[in-house]
Amino acid sequence: MNCPICNTLSILIGNRYDDRYGYRGTFPLLKCPNCGHIFLQGEFPPEVLRDLYSNYYPRSKLDLESYQPYQEANGFVAWLDGENSSPFRWIPRNVRILDIGCGFGESLGYHQARGCEVYGVEVDENIRRVANKFSYKVHVGLFEPSVYEKDYFDYVTMNQVIEHVTDPVQTLQGIARVLKSGGRAVLSTPNESGWGARLFGEYWINWHAPYHLQFFTARSMRLAAEQAGLMLEKSVTITPSAWLHYQWIHLLNRPTEGKPSMFWKPDEKWGFKQKVMLKVLSIMHRCKLDHLLTRIFDAVGAGDNRLYFLLKP
């Protein structure tokens, strides 16, 4: 199968399955020898994606009454936690923004409170509950550039979303269409070139098959952006410190194919040994050991999460 970025014949490097929510199936993982892009092979039409995100992702259980928009985060604690790993943190006040993959809508309320004109896109039907209650402007479904005027937005963000799309170049072309000249797209996505994937191998939490379909290198993102008429301004690794805590827990109870994880979709009780290990991991996290390790790896550009800043000339 050819690379979705540069069309080079790619090499099978392994197989992955859903080790979080128990979606059945094993999916081939391929790597491009030219641009280094890694991608999951499979057929994911809109009806399959709706099933994945509406029935397997846990947002259906989120309590609407406890919904809270994201708040401003500054200072040492925010830095230690890796708060700037999210694209919405990089958006100025009083701009027009489109958040593709807005989840449960916390970013929409955040931008609205900062004087922005904000729109959202979300494939998960559960966003309707939030959008209806707070009158948010949300397109429920896949990102469709034709829904919006050309050259309309100052910023487009995708927080842990670009890895989910079936055709990343086409998605970036759509983003370029709706961005104003001089506008920017800010994307965050797991970094397969980081230390986590190298150390944990197939146990790395961010393979997250079959939800994560694309794994970018700086080269593959630059090539994809150029094909879309965008320019890669810069990329940095900034990773949420909680990710490492989740990784340790994931190692304790990674299920077999077709079964959900007790951590990611809890429906069983933990055993005694697992409870003891969870306690130890919780102490490590409260002592900020995960935080310090995460900040060190980010500082040398080997963090688990990468931010890409794309400019429309």
User: Tokens 């130890």 belong to which residue?
Assistant: 280
Looking at residue 57, its pLDDT comes to: 67
Q: In which region does residue 42 sit, left (phi positive, over 0), alpha (psi from -120 to 50) or beta (all else)? A: left
- Which of the residues in the chain have pLDDT under 50? none
97 and 155 Cβ atoms separated by less than 8 Å: yes
Residue indicated by tokens 């104003």:
180
> Measured between alpha carbons, how far is 129 from 122 in angstroms, rounded to an integer?
12
pLDDT at 123: 84
pLDDT at 253: 87
Look at residue 23 in the predicted model and tell me its pLDDT. 87
Homologous superfamily in CATH for domain 11-311 = Vaccinia Virus protein VP39 (3.40.50.150)
Query: ω before 210 within 30° of 0 (cis)?
Result: yes
Please tell me what DSSP assigns to residue 145: G
143-163 per-position pLDDT tens digit: 999 999 999 999 999 999 999
The whole-number pLDDT of residue 256 equals 93
Position 60 scores a pLDDT of: 55
Rg (CA), the chain: 19
pLDDT value, residue 267? 64
Q: Residue ranges per domain, the chain?
A: 11-311
Task: Note the pLDDT of residue 296.
Answer: 98
For 37-74, write each residue's pLDDT tens digit. Answer: 999 998 777 677 667 766 676 655 567 777 889 999 88
183, 155 contact by CB (below 8 A): yes
